[in-house]
């Protein structure tokens, strides 16, 4: 999530079909179809995004590709329905069956799955959700902390909320984000937490409410200190405190002024400097080569020695999906059984120089 609004007591939303089952199962079927047949091209550069993690809501909202309720006037369905041999047919294909660049057309079953999703339940078939208030969030958190106040981890417990996304509606009052999308945001949040962890174990944040919009985690599970949390909330722009009992109780039990923040903002803030480097404990906030050298010394990694001794593994990418230019990644084993990864990102604005082109400098920096 690159912006806080895009990324995580109440009734769960129910997607109802009149005759063919649930919309949730239709969503899953079309995501599997996209991953299997479309992601090779549409996971990186090609638009629209068509892969297993794509936002179906964003796709459905784009009239260029989808006319909700009508597959025959949907651009995407028209492209996959073109006869074999047509230049604009999707999946894109060159040559004849057996050639490397040949891609077979969608099968009738696959087309039916896409059509069923496009013509699936419209806004009127979606049951509204019960709005979750700030007061309800505070009460749930205070009750959860009260149950654990005698536990060793209670003072280190913090909470991340997806409630703002759960509550959001479109112009017709229907939920803006589906249950599948909320589940994807929970997964993204857990990925970030563990990507910034200094612990060996993978630890999941735990939903504590019926709608799974309030997630509990413990700072120590990721090697974080209470000071890091205080630093985090000093940046928090949504800290509007009510002063009500549940809010004060939660703050007292957690021993912090603000025990919970929005999960989408948390992901946005922790995924970039300076908090990214502070969460990882990188010296110098990771802004210079000295920081990399200090980290390598702390981990006991001799990068140049490993390269000279052929003890490192490298892989290069013309299109990385992360960097705007070419990228090379490098893996070094460390003594605890883990690995240290280093990336070399080539400058796309210096394509005519070795520093801008993987193919001109496949071995990376001169050293």
Residue-range definition of the domain harbouring residue 273: 134-278
Task: Give mean pLDDT, residues 24-42.
Answer: 85
Q: What pLDDT shows up at residue 290?
A: 72
Q: Which residue(s) pair with 207 in the sheet?
A: 215
More confident residue, 67 or 6: 67
pLDDT band for 16, please (50, 70, 90 cuts): very low
Q: Is residue 125 part of a domain?
A: no
Q: Is residue 265 part of a domain?
A: yes
288 and 336 assigned to the same domain? yes
Q: What pLDDT shows up at residue 17?
A: 28
Q: Which of 251, 278, 305 is the last residue of a domain?
A: 278
268 and 151 assigned to the same domain? yes
142 and 63 assigned to the same domain? no
Domain count, the chain: 3
265 and 328 assigned to the same domain? no
Task: Give mean pLDDT, residues 256-265.
Answer: 96
Q: Is residue 40 part of a domain?
A: yes
CB 106 within 8 A of CB 80: yes
Q: Which of 60, 89, 120 is the last residue of a domain?
A: 120
Q: What pLDDT shows up at residue 13?
A: 24
Task: Give mean pLDDT, residues 99-127.
Answer: 80
273 and 142 assigned to the same domain? yes
Q: What pLDDT shows up at residue 102?
A: 85
What does the mean pLDDT of the chain come to?
A: 83
Q: Is residue 126 part of a domain?
A: no
Q: What pLDDT shows up at residue 132?
A: 97
CB 327 within 8 A of CB 317: yes
More confident residue, 37 or 152: 37
- The rounded distance, in Å, linking the Cα atoms of 98 and 41 is 19
What are 309-353's pLDDT values in tens digits?
999 999 998 887 777 788 999 999 998 788 999 988 888 888 787
Question: Is the peptide bond prior to 91 cis by the omega test (within 30 degrees of 0)?
Answer: yes
Q: What pLDDT shows up at residue 289?
A: 62
Q: Is residue 4 part of a domain?
A: no
More confident residue, 154 or 96: 96
What are 70-91's pLDDT values in tens digits?
999 999 999 999 988 788 888 8
Q: Is residue 361 part of a domain?
A: no
Q: Is residue 11 part of a domain?
A: no
What are 136-149's pLDDT values in tens digits?
999 999 999 988 76
Task: Give mean pLDDT, residues 159-184.
Answer: 88
236 and 340 assigned to the same domain? no
Other beta carbons within 10 angstroms of residue 95's beta carbon come to 10
pLDDT band for 215, please (50, 70, 90 cuts): very high
Asked if the model's pLDDT at residue 11 lies above 70, the reply is: no
82 and 164 assigned to the same domain? no
More confident residue, 45 or 33: 33
Q: What is the DSSP string of 90-128?
A: SS---SSTTSTT--PPPPHHHHHHHHHHHTS--GGGBPP
Asked if the model's pLDDT at residue 9 lies above 50, the reply is: no
270 and 143 assigned to the same domain? yes
Task: Give mean pLDDT, residues 259-263.
Answer: 97
Q: What pLDDT shows up at residue 236?
A: 96
Asked if the model's pLDDT at residue 122 lies above 80, the reply is: no
Q: Which of 228, 262, 278 is the last residue of a domain?
A: 278
What pTM, to 2 d.p., does this model score?
0.67
70 and 29 assigned to the same domain? yes
270 and 196 assigned to the same domain? yes
**Which residues, other chains included, contact 208 with Cβ-Cβ below 8 Å and sequence gap of 6+?**
140, 141, 144, 159, 214, 215, 216
81 and 209 assigned to the same domain? no
Q: Is residue 3 part of a domain?
A: no
Q: What pLDDT shows up at residue 153?
A: 52
Task: Give mean pLDDT, residues 47-63.
Answer: 85
Query: Could you tell me which of 196, 271, 234, 253 has the C-alpha nearest to residue 3?
Result: 271
232 and 261 assigned to the same domain? yes
């Amino acid at each position: 999530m690159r912006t806080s609004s895009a990324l995580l007591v109440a009734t769960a939303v129910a997607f109802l079909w009149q005759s063919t089952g649930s919309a949730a199962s239709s969503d899953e079927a079309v995501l599997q179809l996209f991953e299997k047949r479309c992601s090779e091209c549409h996971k990186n550069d090609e638009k629209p995004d068509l892969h297993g993690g794509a936002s179906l809501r964003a796709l459905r909202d784009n009239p260029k590709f989808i006319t909700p309720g009508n597959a025959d006037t949907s651009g995407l369905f028209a492209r996959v329905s073109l006869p074999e041999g047509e230049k604009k047919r999707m999946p894109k294909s060159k040559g004849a069956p057996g050639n490397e660049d040949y891609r077979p057309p969608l099968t009738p079953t696959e087309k039916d799955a896409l059509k069923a999703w496009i013509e699936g339940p419209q806004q009127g078939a979606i049951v509204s959700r019960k709005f979750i208030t700030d007061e309800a969030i505070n009460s749930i958190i205070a009750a959860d902390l009260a149950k654990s106040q005698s536990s060793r981890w209670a003072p280190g417990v913090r909470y991340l909320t997806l409630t703002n996304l759960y509550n959001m509606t479109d112009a017709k009052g229907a939920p803006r984000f589906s249950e599948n999308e909320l589940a994807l945001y929970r997964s993204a949040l857990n990925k970030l937490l563990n990507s910034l962890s200094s612990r060996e174990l993978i630890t999941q944040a735990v939903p504590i409410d019926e709608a799974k919009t309030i997630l509990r985690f413990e700072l120590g599970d990721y090697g974080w200190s209470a000071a890091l949390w205080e630093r985090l909330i000093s940046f928090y722009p949504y800290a509007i405190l009510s002063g009500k009992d549940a809010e004060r109780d939660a703050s007292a039990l957690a021993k912090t002024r603000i025990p919970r923040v929005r999960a989408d903002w948390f992901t946005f803030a922790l995924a970039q400097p300076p908090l990214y480097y502070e969460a990882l404990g990188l010296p110098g906030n990771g802004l210079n080569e000295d920081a990399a050298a200090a980290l390598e010394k702390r981990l006991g990694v001799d990068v140049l020695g490993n390269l000279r001794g052929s003890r490192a593994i490298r892989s290069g990418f013309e299109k990385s999906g992360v960097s705007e230019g070419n990228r090379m990644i490098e893996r070094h084993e460390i003594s605890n059984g883990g690995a240290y990864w280093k990336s070399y990102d080539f400058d796309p604005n210096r394509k005519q120089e070795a520093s801008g082109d993987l193919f001109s400098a496949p071995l990376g920096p001169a050293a």
